[in-house]
Amino acid sequence: MSVRAQENYLVVETDSLNFRSGPSASSLSLTKFKKGEIVERIAQYDQFWVKVKYLGQEGYLSSKFLKPLSESEQYSSWTQVLTNTGERLECSNITPMNDLSINNFLDIENASDGDAVVKLINSNDICIRVAFIQQGGTYRIKNIPQGIYTTKVAFGKRLSKSFKDDGVCYLKFLVNPEYKDYDTDRFDFFLKDGETEYRSDGVYKSTRVPSYSLRLYIERVFGRFQKVGLDNISEQEFNK
């Protein structure tokens, strides 16, 4: 089966497909792809081979074992979510919590090689805010209620949504998904006592409002995986 030139993403349709260094069955096999994995199309080499990119590595796959993502039965229930940094994220399945009386913030920079969905998790393991941040983008989460927080992050490309049998709408990155959390870094958003000032008309105490910045950096290199400050979690752990 030939692959349509206009498709950017292709789905592997066989259990074990060689990712080769050249457009030939005798070319070196760089790795093998499993059925259902998605690769990014670069160009159609000829009717037999397609040039693709995976984790920065370019190579060739046999066209007859590939199908355009839009035609894949495995992903037929998933619809791409078109959104920009900071826009309301549909299917987030959370009730946002804010405290407009507190002028604090968490500044997040996405310096990774893909888009990111960031969840802000309180000490009761409840997600109170969620943000989509495009690759290279920044976003400020503001007016965070007092408490101790951690973050869970999903990285990838082609954010998509699907309604499962339970009627709940789910989000996931279909291309190169990775799920991480900060299990050591905690953000303490409790208000702090500031300086005490003694004046002739009385004693004045100030309040310090903590704010933080977070830089997301993840580099996926073919043959190895580099991560900074993050630990792997499963898709289920990210979405619970």
Say if residue 131 is in the same domain as residue 60: no
Domain presence at residue 2? no
CATH number at residue 15: 2.30.30.40
Q: What are the beta bridge partners of residue 218?
A: 227
- Do 118 and 216 contact (CB within 8 A), yes or no? yes
Say if residue 88 is in the same domain as residue 66: no
Label each residue of the chain as H, E or C.
Answer: CCCCCCCCEEEECCCCEEEECCCCCCCCEEEEECCCCEEEEEEECCCCEEEEEECCEEEEEEHHHEEEHHHCCCCCCCEECCCCCCCCCCCCCCCCCCCCCCCCEEEEEECCCCEEEEEEECCCCCEEEEEEECCCCEEEEECCCCCEEEEEEEEEEEEEEEECCCCCEEEEEEEEEEEEECCCCCEECCCEEEEEEEECCEEEEEEECCCEEEEECEEEECCEEEECCCEECCHHHHHC
Alpha-carbon distance of 157 to 69, in angstroms, equals: 13
Say if residue 94 is in the same domain as residue 186: yes
Number of folded domains in the chain?
Answer: 2
Give the residue from 17, 139, 12 showing the smallest Cα distance to 72.
Answer: 12
Domain boundary among 30, 45, 71: 71
Q: In the prediction, which pLDDT does 227 show?
A: 40
Q: In the prediction, which pLDDT does 231 show?
A: 58
Give the residue from 136, 135, 131 showing the smallest Cα distance to 106.
Answer: 131
Say if residue 45 is in the same domain as residue 84: no
| Range of the structural domain that residue 24 is part of | 9-71
Say if residue 37 is in the same domain as residue 16: yes
**For the chain, what's the residue count?**
240
| b (16+ CB within 10 A) / e for 75-108 | beebeebeeebeeebebbeeeeeeeeebebbbeb
Chunked into runs of 10 residues, the chain (240 residues) has average pLDDT values of: 58 94 94 91 92 88 94 91 90 91 96 93 95 97 97 92 84 89 85 82 84 84 48 82
Alpha-carbon distance of 88 to 132, in angstroms, equals: 8
Amino acid code (one letter) for 147 = G
